Every structure is written in C-alpha cells, then in structure tokens.
C-alpha cells in the first residue's frame, strides 16, 4: 500500500505561525499532519503494518510545477509557498502492507 499526502514538518495545530494564518484554512489544515503523527496513528491499526513513513524529496519540484499552471488557484498559492519558505509544509510518503 502506498499513500502520498500533503503534510507538515511538525505539528503546528496548537500554534499556527502568524504569517501563515491567512493562507491556511483551519478546517483543511486539520488533515495536514507530520510524519510522527501519522506513525502514531497507524501503529494503532490492526490491519496496516508500516514499512516506511518519510518526507518526500519532490516537494519543491511538485510545487514549482503547480505554480507554473495558469489558473487562479495556483496564482493564489504562490505567495503562500514564498511565505512558507520550506519551514512548515511537506509531502509525506507512507508505505505499508495489509496485516
């Protein structure tokens, strides 16, 4: 089983950085968690065995591709990525097997 999801470098839900509050919808942000958070959650599962959880190296490349797109959502995300500056957001890879 392979999963790829947007995430955070560390948990920020109790202390959202002030400069990022404007860009992150709090409801959507509830689903963006760290590798550690996902590992703790999945270790509780009786049906999923973790092989590896890690940050994906393609974060910058993926965002640069997205920001080149000619649509209003990509244009709106440009400032968010500049403000983040590699400090908070990431992409997470979860690899596992069914127990």
Question: What is residue 75's predicted lDDT score, i.e. its pLDDT?
Answer: 85
Strand runs labelled E in the chain: 2-8, 48-55, 89-98
- State both tokens at 50: 């973790």
Percent of the chain with pLDDT over 90: 78
Can you give the pLDDT at residue 81? 93
Which residue positions in the chain have pLDDT lower than 70?
Answer: none
d(CA 18, CA 93): 27
Give the model's pLDDT for residue 62.
92
| Half-sphere exposure (Cβ direction) of 7: Cα atoms closer than 13 Å | 22
pLDDT of res. 53: 98
């Amino acid at each position: 089983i392979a999963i790829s999801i947007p995430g955070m470098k560390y948990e920020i839900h109790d202390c959202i950085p002030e400069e990022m509050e404007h860009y992150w919808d709090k409801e959507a942000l509830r689903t963006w968690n760290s590798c550690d958070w996902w590992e703790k959650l999945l270790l509780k599962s009786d049906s999923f065995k973790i092989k590896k959880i890690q940050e994906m190296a393609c974060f910058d490349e993926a965002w640069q591709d997205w920001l080149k797109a000619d649509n209003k959502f990509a244009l709106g995300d440009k400032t968010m990525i500049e403000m983040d500056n590699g400090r908070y957001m990431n992409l997470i890879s979860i690899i596992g097997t069914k127990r």
